[in-house]
Every structure is written in structure tokens, then in C-alpha cells.
Chains A and B, each alone.
Chain A
Amino acid sequence: MSRAPRRPASLARPRGQVGCPACAEVEEILRRLDPALRVEGADLMARYRRALRKVSARAPAERWQDRLIVRKIRPGASVLDLGCGAGDLLAELMCRRRVRAQGIELDPEEVVRCVERGVPVLQGDLDHGLQGFPDRSFDYVVLEETLQTLHRPLTVLSEMLRVGREGIVSFPNFAWWKVRLSLMIEGRMPETERLPYRWYDTPNIHLFTLRDFLDWAERERVRILGGYAYESGRVRPLREDDNLDAEEALLFLRR
């Protein structure tokens, strides 16, 4: 076997260090862009430089969606949580909204934690679909931070809108400006507080953007009843043009 050629020293930069060579790469990208896009690109660049000056010591907001979902769900409703983890959301809904709760989770350890807190959970793989669940058998079907980990995301989405009267879905937006820049400037797969994985150990196998998702909804005639964006530690109602600003999105859907 022949030996692999050595990488030039200039390409073997340690990650995280953004020096002049990276900036030069970005300048080159900006030069290649259409004049129309160049403005957006330059704006991004400026924001990235500003962001780099701040040291971000903010702890990631775990499951920021939960309290919004709890607020949204009416008492006594039925809720199916796909990928329910240890049952945090369902336990809260059972306590505060007296819902009929049902979780589905693949990880055996998480399943046991659900049992320990009295959350009904079916151990199963969402990628095998929701066959066996009748149409509209739940008021709400929740898919929190799970869509991007599925092998067959569209099947699961349409199944959730078949089984539930309303779907509640949240996901990381891969078009968030920081994600875009980390790919653009560093030329590496992004790592953020909310996506803290390397390319080889990430569970996120189908990455997409808010715009991608809205395209799908339009194509499938799925109505967006409302939504929220998570941005820099704050939560606010989703705007029309949030593809750049939303780090994560939470959407309420109906077929």
C-alpha cells in the first residue's frame, strides 16, 4: 500500500482558530458570489466578527420548547410524544394538564426512567412508523428535536399528522447564521451549543433548514398554525423571515 500524501501544513490548522487564512477563504467566497448575495454574505461576515468578540458562557437552554408546549395543550387532551426521552414533557403534562400521555422511545435506559416516573412508554423505533395507530387517535403528536435523527423523516412527519389532530415539531435550523458561518469560514461541519457533535458521532443524520421545512409544508399542504424561534437564549414568536435568525424552531402543524 502506498502512503497517503502529507497534508500541506497550511491546511492542518487546529480547529476553532480563525486566523487570516480563513478570512481570506471567506473573501474569496464573497468574490465568487452574485452581487445580490454579496450583501447578505458581507452582513453575515460582520455579524460573525462581532460574535467572536463575545465569549459565550451561556448554558444551553435544555428543552426550551417544553413550557411553550405545556402552555399550548389543553387539559384532558391526549398526547403522543415521539422520542420522549426520559418522559420530562409527558410527566409535566400529566401533572399539570391531566393529559392521556403516551411516549415512544428507543433507548432502553430512557425507557426505564419513564417507567420509574410512571410515564406510559412504548419501546420502539420511530423509523418503523406508527403503523397500528389509528388516524386521529391523539389530539397532539409531539416530535421534539428528533426529526433530524430519523432515517425516514418524511414518513414520520406524515404519520404524525395522520395519527394526531395536531402536530408539534421542533428542530435545529441548519441555516442559522452561526451555523452557516462556521461552515463557511472554518470549512468544517458546525458545532454549536445545541448541535454539540462531531461529524462522526452525531445522531443528526438529516440536517435541514427552516426554509426546507416550510417548503415541505407548502408542498404537502400542511398548515403552520404558529411557531416560536429560539435565538441566543431567548424565545420569541416565529417571524416570516427567520431562516437566518432562528437557532431552533418550534412549529404547530395541522394537515
Chain B
Amino acid sequence: MSSPRKYDPPDSPTSVGWTRPQVVRLADARRPFRLECGRTLAPIDVEYETYGRLSPRGDNAVLILHALSGDAHVAGWDATAEAAGRPWRLRKPGWWNGMVGPGKAIDTRRWWVVCSNVLGSCYGTTGPASIDPATGRPYGCRFPPVTVGDWVRLQARLMDHLGIRRLHAVIGGSIGGQQAMEWALRYPRRLDNCIVLASGARLSVQGLAFNMVGRHAILNDPLYAGGDYYQNGRGPDVGLAVARMLAHITYLSEPGMHRKFGRRRNAGAGGEGGFGPEYEVESYLAHQGRSFVERFDANSYLYISRAMDAYDAARWGRGDLVVACHRIRARTMIVSFSSDWLYPPRQSRELALALCRAGREVTYVDLPSDVGHDAFLVETEKVGRLVQAFLESGGPGR
């Protein structure tokens, strides 16, 4: 195993330091939010974080979009972790800490960075665990279905609230990359640059299959209780852990797992009638499952994975991706990772070619990496070099 990853402490000059999440009510009874499914939702609170300083002209805003299990806490150390009941944030900085900070690829001395938690999630933004004002109880699975389009429209509402008319860039990986695409398609005149990492115009059928198995594990856990498990003391922890373990395998790659674990055995293996965690990879996955249950809500997992299934950028062209891409005005960079089998390079390439066919300038890079889909989070050196270069180059003569 590699040595434990070193994080820069809050007092480091390269860290954004101590952070405090902010929450804003973006929809209420007077101003409800109409979802793509046709239903309206109110109230809606959105948790977000910002780093750096907005320039007087407001032209240095960079919006980061998080993936399935992510949150608004992109970088730095959460000063409210203890009080907010988020102990896992005491051990680790934000999920893209290696990319965002003073002097890092997304340099907070230059850019004003903002990230918000998506609708339906469980990190401060309204979701299935929030109280339904109609019943006084948590929504559970009575929460309306949400889509990538809903997330992006809500983010636009947040930008309005913050007074940002035009973004210098939107950046996201995985389902965050699909939000970035959706931004470029839905609000072509509100952003200059769009960076899509480890993503595609839609999830592959293999991805649909994996998501289905994950949901199946949650829905068939006896403690799921039709989604109303919040008052029961325990939720469908086993199902959620299975979903996470399965999903986690899709974030890695065969050569990456071989390098990280091989077939090494645990010391003192055995137990549980010989079916306990025998190999290192087993205890690793079990740990991933356990720690995920500690910090994530099963209903949120169901809603977000459904949004991931449903997204298709070609919808903007009535099924034709090239027609859809005609809408885009932003400079676009698409990055895939050679060993990613959740959003394989072929799909990123297809998206890049569609942009090219639509007569748009596009940059597509397939980065060599053996860590699989997770590369967009882990390979901060390679990704950082590209992202920094793209953010800072307006193109020659511009």
C-alpha cells in the first residue's frame, strides 16, 4: 500500500483553510421551484461553499459540480464538522482539495470558486430526508424525482442570488461533468468555459445495469421500510453498503486494483465460518461500505443514481447530439481516462466529435491512467495541469 495521503493542514499556504458551509433558501411558498417532472417543490434550501474573492467586475467565478456522493465541501477543512454532526470531515479536507486552493490548479488567488450540493442529496440541500411541510415528516420516497436539468436550474438560481451573471468556467467530473454539459447546453450565454471530466453525453447501458443492482440492494433491504426508515433508528445500511461497494468497483480498474491490493491476504484472516474478509480487497471494500453508510442517505442514493441514469445531453437536439451541440457557445474541454470503464474514453470522444461536427472548437484529451473512473479525483497532477492551462488560456489573440 502507498503511504497515507498527505493533506495540507488548514494553516498551510496552499490550503483554503477553515471553511464554513452556507445555506440559502432558494424556493419557498411564494416562489416555488418547478421540477422537470412537472411537480413543484418548496421550500428548497441549498448548501454551498465559496473560496477566494469575487473580482469587482464579477468575471472570475468558477462553478464546480460534484459527483454522486459529493457535496459542496470541495476544499479546506470544515470548521463546523463537529457541530453539524459530520465527523468524517474532521479526518479529511474537501473532496477536491488537491485541485482547489492558493497556488493549486484552480487557484483561489485568481478564481472565485463556488460549489453547491445538488437537490435530493443529503449534505444540507433539500432532499428525501428533509421534512415535507405537508406532512411534518421526512419526504422519504415521496420526494419528487430530480434530474440533472433540475440541479443546473437550481444552481443558476443560486448564481442569480449571488449576483453572478456570467461564469468564467464550469467544471465537473462524472455526473458533475454531465452538469457542466447541461450548463453549456441550457445557459449557453452564461459561461465562457466548460470542462467535462470522466463523463459522457449519457451513461452506458453497463452503467445502467450497475446502478440497478445498487438500487436493488437498497430497496430489498428489510430495513428500507418503503423509504420511511428515518424514525426507525436504523435504515437500510446493509443495502446501501452493498450499493457503495459495487459502485466503488466501477470507480476502479482491474490493473489499478492489482497494483493496490494484488491477491494479498489479511493478517489473521478467516472468521465468520471462513467467509470473513480474507483478502485485502475485501476489507478495503467493506470499509468503503461502512464509512459510506455513516455519511450518506439511502434515499438520496436512489434519487441521484436515477438522475444519473436518465441524463442524456442529446435531449437538447431531440435525440441528435450534434444538433444539441449547436447550442453550445463555451470553449469546451473534455478529458477521459484510459482505464475508466464507467464512462469509457469512447463516450467522451463521441461527445467531443459531436461538438466538432457542430462546428464548435473543442479540446479532447485521453489521459493515460490505471486508476479507473476515480482518476478525475485522484490524478490531481495530470488533471490539474490541463485544467489550469485551459482556465488560464483564453486562446491566442483573445
Q: Which residues of A contact B (CB under 8 A)?
A: 78, 91-92, 94-96, 98, 100-102, 108, 111-112, 114-124, 132-134, 137
Contacts and interface: CB of A to CB of B under 8 A. Distances in A.
Given A100-B359, A114-B363, A132-B357, A122 B352 contact: yes
Contact of B396 (A94, A100, A137): A94
A108 B393 CA distance: 18
29 contacts: A78-B359, A95-B397, A96-B397, A98-B397, A101-B361, A108-B367, A111-B365, A112-B389, A114-B363, A115-B333, A115-B363, A115-B386, A115-B389, A117-B393, A118-B394, A118-B395, A118-B398, A120-B395, A121-B363, A121-B364, A122-B353, A122-B362, A123-B365, A132-B353, A132-B356, A132-B357, A133-B357, A137-B357, A137-B359
Most chain B CB atoms below 10 A, which of A96, A132, A133, A137: A132
Interface residues on B, range: 20 to 34
- Of all A-B residue pairs in the complex, the 4 with the closest CB atoms, nearest first, are A118-B393, A118-B395, A120-B361, A95-B397
Most chain B CB atoms below 10 A, which of A100, A120, A132: A120
B182 to A, nearest CB: 21
Contacts of B361: 100-102, 120
Interface string B360-398: 011111111000000000000000011001100111111
- Which secondary structure dominates chain B's binding surface? mixed
A91 B396 contact: yes
Contacts of B395: 94, 118-120
- Which secondary structure dominates chain A's binding surface? mixed
B189 interface: no
B386 A112 contact: yes
B20 interface: no
A118 B396 contact: yes
Contacts of B366: 108, 123
A209 B178 CA distance: 49
Contact of B357 (A111, A121, A123, A134): A134
Given A121-B363, A132-B356, 10 more contacts: A94-B397, A95-B396, A102-B356, A112-B365, A112-B386, A115-B333, A118-B395, A118-B398, A120-B362, A132-B354
Given A115-B389, A137-B357, A124 B364 contact: yes
Contacts of B365: 108, 111-112, 115, 121, 123
Most chain A CB atoms below 10 A, which of B353, B354, B385, B394: B353
A116 B386 CA distance: 7
Contacts of B216: none
A102 B204 CA distance: 28
Contacts of A137: 357, 359
B157 interface: no
B109 interface: no
B396 A117 contact: yes
Contacts of B359: 78, 100, 137
Most chain B CB atoms below 10 A, which of A95, A101, A115, A133: A115
Contacts of A108: 365-368
A10 B353 CA distance: 58
Most chain A CB atoms below 10 A, which of B349, B359, B365: B365
B168 interface: no
Contacts of B362: 102, 120, 122
A78 B361 CA distance: 10
Contacts of B397: 94-96, 98
B110 interface: no
A78 B386 CA distance: 25
Contacts of B326: none
B394 to A, nearest CB: 6
B367 A122 contact: no
Contacts of B333: 115
B190 interface: no
B331 interface: yes
Nearest to A103: B363
A95 B398 CA distance: 8
A108 B366 CA distance: 8
